Structure 1
């Protein structure tokens, strides 16, 4: 991980529960690296998403290990930064990261589902104003997200992915990054594991 050595770098932050991390996360990271001309993408494993129930959430160490398994150093890295910084709120994480890495330019990478949820985030307008935002498609969410409240409020700040770094706008831009949809789903993986465990338990009992 870049350790505040004074270099001017562009870093994409792909946050999430990673419950577990999977090939879809790696796909999104690779797309963002290329489309946004980033130096690195950090898979930011959340200690606990305030908008998600704790039930069914694997321990942090297990989720971090799964992110490390799909990472591809040195450009795609699993990060426990939020746990180390002691924050679960995106606006606070960004504030602390900028303080620690003053020469880094951060881009928040989110799926279309999170663009839909963005107005529920703490200080979401502050996040959108001060941080570049890259939105990638998600099955079943993209159309609604691009016509939703956040997209409407931020409409005049939308740019093409290649224009994200142009100039020094007072309000940071956001972009929709077209990409092939990836079928991997953490929910489906957890469901398959549950089913496998159920079958194994049933076989052992018979």
Structure 2
């Protein structure tokens, strides 16, 4: 466990899956504190409003029920540099580890001001099935100032996109069904009696 380091996990949570839940639980085994939030990804179209996605993610956080895990929605920004500036203001004495899936690691060199924010934190990379991490990718990130750390967590192969395409109902945590049905999110509706 990294002493004093806060793991930061922003996610579209569109919707959160059992993979998100497993990731948060896995991070709790690696870090003394884990902070998450729902964010708008500037390169994606989202299936639900940010507030709804934050509420869904909060339900997952509450279900996990660990006091070392918190939802900090005010860290949310489409840009990692803004999120990290907010986190550094909130926790000036703590080390930060910005966590991404291996599918995003190769995109980071195209993110806004990556050369400025990568040096402000450790970069935690969680391998995703089907998205191998190549040595060349890691070296490219290091040249930009990153301190990459591979987090070997066993995360189920899930994708929010499968849920949005109506082929991943089994990837939704049980705790989310009441909210999804109540608000008719992602095409799920309560059956009328």
CA apart distance, 1:68: 1.2
Superposition deviation, residue 96 in structure 1:
2.2
Question: Aligned to 1:30, which of 14, 25, 29?
Answer: 25
Corresponding position of 2:36: 43
Q: Do the aligned residues in 2 keep the contact of 1:19 with 1:57 (CA within 8 Å)? A: yes
Deviates more, 1:114-123 or 1:186-195: 186-195
TM-score, normalised on structure 1?
0.71
SS in 1 for 2:47: coil
Compared CA separation, residues 140 and 103, structure 1 to 2 (3 A):
same
Q: Deviations over 1:61-89 (max 9, x none)?
A: 21011101211331222221235xxx421
Residue 44 of structure 1: how far off its partner (Å): 1.8
Matched residue count? 170
**Structure 1 position 184 matched with structure 2 position 158:** yes
Contact 1:15 1:45 in 2 (8 A): yes
Distance apart, 1:95 and its partner CA = 1.3
Per the TM alignment, residue 189 of structure 1 is displaced from its structure 2 partner at its CA by 1.5
Q: Give the match's secondary structure for 1:138.
A: coil
* CA spacing shift, 1:187–1:172, aligned 2, 3 Å: closer
TM-score, normalised relative to structure 2? 0.75
Q: 1:186 and 1:41 mapped to 2: Cα distance? A: 21
1:11/1:39 contact within 8 Å kept = yes
Q: Deviations over 1:115-165 (max 9, x none)?
A: 0111111111222222101101112112xx32454x1224589xxxxxxxx
Instruction: Say which SS state the counterpart of residue 15 (structure 2) adopts.
Output: coil
1:18 equivalent in structure 2: 13
Q: Which consecutive unaligned segments of at least 5 residues does structure 1 have?
A: 1-7, 158-170
What's 1:66 paired with? 56
The answer to whether the Cα contact below 8 Å between 2:108 and 2:114 also exists between their aligned partners in 1 is yes
Larger Rg: 1
Deviations 1:88-118 (A, max 9, x none): 2111211122122211221101100110111
- In 1, the alpha carbon distance for the partners of 2:90 and 2:71 equals 18
2:162 is the counterpart of 1:174: no
Instruction: Label 1:40 to 1:82 Cα distance change in 2 as closer, same or farther (>3 A).
Output: same
The answer on whether the counterparts of 2:122 and 2:146 sit within 8 Å (CA) in structure 1 is yes
Preserved CA contact (<8 Å) 2:109 2:141: no
Supply the distance in 1 between the matched residues of 2:93 and 2:166 (Cα, whole angstroms).
Answer: 43
